[in-house]
Amino acid sequence: MNVFKRNFLLLFTFFIALPCFGWSLPKLSLNPAEQQQHIADAWADNAASLANMGGDESDSNSPNSGFDPADKIHGFSDIVGGVPQEVANIVDSFKNPKKYLDAGVKVPTAVLFVGEPGTGKTSIARAVVQEVGGALVSRSGSDFVEIWVGNGARKIRAAFAEARNIASRTRKKVFLFIDEIDAIGKRTDDGQQQNSEVQQTINALLKEMSGIEGYSSVIVMAATNFVQNVDPALMRSGRFTVIDIPLPDASKRELIFKHYCKNKKLSSNVDLA
């Protein structure tokens, strides 16, 4: 009986308990050398997961931090067709907060861009960061979708910790951009959340956002194509300043068409107007 209990505890630990903490099991191989390498890789991954369990560590070397030097978006002038006036007003409030605070206007701490796919929400977000002269920490909503309870919330805390770390190191305003935020806590057809992991992730995001007050060095920006799928807790008044990015009209479509036809060999009888 003691042997049975011991074997049961070993199987429970390796196949049920450890995966709940995000630990991985080594791959199986018939080759002894490969199996040894698989075991070493698994322990290395598990050690990194254990080191990040606190959730306050930041990854300043993340490939999603900052701008690609080859990025073509350097400001609003690079957005073909321009940006909505609301976006320009938001940028002005970030640059001149005292002017707005003296007038009794609250400077936004979180901005949500809503619009159809292809309307340039991500490009506008990157242009906002460049116009303000800040730094960027970029994530996708799917980055925070996890199977094991607590992992999504841990990644939320780590993303905010990374943004705060960059802000304290560079003395710049840091924008944490979450693309496709509707992927976090996406509702089912009956309007219910999917599981407790989703709830913990949403709660962690709300807690981090509630800690941003006044003219903070960390600003949350997000974008979604499906605002109806965003968790209602995130859409409550005071959470996000929602800005609609509309589809381009005829004149803007012409400008976009001409932009993408630059350096292209066109027939002499093609009229882009």
Reported as a single tens digit per residue, the pLDDT across 87-108 is 999 999 999 989 998 999 888 9
Mean pLDDT (the chain) is 77
**The pLDDT of residue 186 is above 70:** no
Rounded to two decimals, the pTM is 0.71
**The pLDDT of residue 47 is above 70:** no
Range with the largest mean pLDDT of 115-119, 236-240, 254-258: 115-119
Instruction: For the chain, give the percent of residues with pLDDT over 90.
Output: 33
Written as one letter, the residue type at 94 is: F
| CA nearest neighbour of 236 among 89, 87, 101, 110 | 110
Q: Which residue do the tokens 């009986």 mark?
A: 1
pLDDT at residue 255, rounded to an integer: 87
**The pLDDT of residue 59 is above 60:** no
The secondary structure of residue 76, as a DSSP letter, is G
Identify the three-state secondary structure at position 218: strand
C-alpha to C-alpha distance for 156 and 44, rounded to whole angstroms: 23
For 167, the token pair is 């802000």
C-alpha to C-alpha distance for 223 and 95, rounded to whole angstroms: 22
